[in-house]
Amino acid sequence: MKGTIPLLRLGSTIVATIHTELRDKVAQDFQDDMLTELELRGANALVIDISGLETVDTYVARVLAETGRMAKLMGARTVLVGMRPEIAATLVRMGYAMDGIQTALNLEEGLTLLRRRRREMP
């Protein structure tokens, strides 16, 4: 792990908690660590918890969507959880569409969503 964003393994899911403001270097290290962990742990899902983020601008939103696309190339599904109400409002008011990434209200809902999907796809 070269970055500062902690990655936790929960069964076949990797949980990343973003608690710090993303900068280019932090974002890249996070993406590299996440991809390495997916392979190392044989994980098939990634949950990104952003409940600790006060601001998500289009740069951060793009980093998150990009991370989801990278995970997808490794065969993993990504769920973004914990977006604050004011952030959801701001992103949509700007005209930003968070395409290509699934979302859930919080960590618990995100994990439930992944369990349900796994049952549907044997």
Partner 1 sequence: MSTTVLERYDMRIDTEDDIILVRRKVRDIAQSCRFDVFAASAVTTAASELARNVWTHAGRGVARIEKVTDDMRMGVRADFEDQGPGIADVTRALAGGYSTANSMGLGLSGSRRLVDEFSIESTPGRGTRVTFVKWAPF
Q: Which residues contact partner 1 (rule: CB under 8 A)? A: 21, 23-24, 54-59, 62, 84-87, 89-90, 93-96
- Total length of the chain: 122
CB of 122 to partner 1, least distance (A): 38
Residue 51 or 90: which CB sits closer to partner 1? 90
CB of 11 to partner 1, least distance (A): 34
Residue 1 or 89: which CB sits closer to partner 1? 89
Give residue 13's Cα distance to chain centre: 11
In single-letter form, the type of residue at position 115 comes to R
CB of 60 to partner 1, least distance (A): 9
In single-letter form, the type of residue at position 78 comes to T
Report whether 3 contacts 33 (CB < 8 A): yes
Residue 24 or 120: which CB sits closer to partner 1? 24
DSSP lists the bridge partners of residue 45 as 13, 77
CB of 24 to partner 1, least distance (A): 6
Q: Distance between CA atoms of 20 and 116, rounded to whole angstroms?
A: 30
Q: Distance between CA atoms of 48 and 34, rounded to whole angstroms?
A: 10
Residue 39 or 57: which CB sits closer to partner 1? 57
